[in-house]
Structure 1
Amino acid sequence: RLYHKQANQRRDFHFKLAQKLCQKYAVICLESLSMKAMQQSHGKKVNDYGFAAFENILEYVGRQMGTKIIKVDKFYPSSQLCHDCGYQNKEVKDICVHEWTCPSCGIRHDRDRNAARNILSEGLRLLTA
């Protein structure tokens, strides 16, 4: 019973969050990640958080509310590209690197924020293509 209660709470939270995001944004860009690969590196907790379920719920709610959900390919080097000049830094492939400075333009990047900007740019490019 406890498991079902937790699952229902998580599902309710996912629906409420998806509705809030779809009301706020007309376009949402996501990186299509391999859940199996994430499970191998991060363990079973990836399934417990329900990332894949949330992605499905977001697509469902997005269709109902008219929000475009764009998926960027998992092989797109989002964290390696400088969002300012486009330089690809192959040394950033290691996920232990959280911050890096672009050798081309000198801008300091937070890995996650830089990847988010690049995913948004690529998603918008895919939308217009």
Structure 2
Amino acid sequence: MANRRKDALHKCSRTLVNRCGEIYVGNVSSLKLVKTTMAKSVLDAGWGQLKTMLDYKCAHAGIVFKEVDEAYTTQTCSNCGSLPESRPKGIAGLGIREWTCYGCGVTHDRDINAARNILAVGQGCLAVGIPVL
């Protein structure tokens, strides 16, 4: 299983590097998640390995690879940049997969919204919204 996982991660990372000019990833700590109830899922997914593979393959190909702070990326509206009070919060909020921004009325898928925010933070073009901690 470990060899299959590693092979799949190599193929996935190579495809991403070949297809993308820039790759930005959140700074989720897989080592911290291993200490939670999600340990098996985190280890099975090979998040840490994928980031490592992307890092060295991007460096070799001359592609931008950057790990960015992902704090509040699922909760900040990627459309208007607001951090609404009614946003999904905490462990209970993880089950909320879609939410609507009360600032601009846009409905977001939690993961797609986070991906847009991570991209914006990586490119340095997010002027408002995600607070600096």
Which of the five TM-score ranges fits, normalised by the shorter chain? 0.7 to 0.9
**Is residue 120 from structure 1 mapped to residue 119 from structure 2 by the alignment?**
yes
Pick the structure with more helix per residue.
1
Report the Cα distance in structure 1 between the residues aligned to 2:66 and 2:7, rounded to whole angstroms. Answer: 23
Q: How many corresponding residue pairs?
A: 120
Structure 2 gap ranges (5+): 126-133
Aligned-residue sequence identity (percent) comes to 33
Residues 86-114 of structure 1, C-alpha deviation per residue, up to 9 Å, x if partnerless? 11024312212111111111111111111
The 5 Å alignment of 1:1-129 reads 6-39=1-34, 40-74=36-70, 76-90=71-85, 91-93=87-89, 94-125=93-124
Instruction: Please state whether the residue corresponding to 2:99 is helix, strand or coil.
Output: strand
Q: Which runs of 4+ in 1 moved over 6 A?
A: none
Contact kept in structure 1, 2:84 and 2:103, CA below 8 Å: no
Q: TM-score, normalised by structure 2?
A: 0.82
Letter matched to residue 16 of structure 1: K
Letter matched to residue 19 of structure 1: R
Choose 1 or 2 for highest CA Rg: 1
Report the Cα distance in structure 2 between the residues aligned to 1:55 and 1:30, rounded to whole angstroms. Answer: 8
Report the Cα distance in structure 2 between the residues aligned to 1:124 and 1:41, rounded to whole angstroms. Answer: 33
Report the Cα distance in structure 2 between the residues aligned to 1:89 and 1:98, rounded to whole angstroms. Answer: 16
Instruction: Please state whether the residue corresponding to 1:79 is helix, strand or coil.
Output: coil
The corresponding residue for 1:3 is: none
Shift of 1:49: 2.4
Letter matched to residue 99 of structure 1: E
Q: TM-score, normalised by structure 1?
A: 0.84
Instruction: Please state whether the residue corresponding to 1:61 is helix, strand or coil.
Output: helix
Residues 19-67 of structure 1, C-alpha deviation per residue, up to 9 Å, x if partnerless? 1111110101100101133220413231132110111011111111111
Shift of 1:68: 1.0
Report the Cα distance in structure 2 between the residues aligned to 1:18 and 1:72, rounded to whole angstroms. Answer: 18
RMSD, aligned CA:
1.6
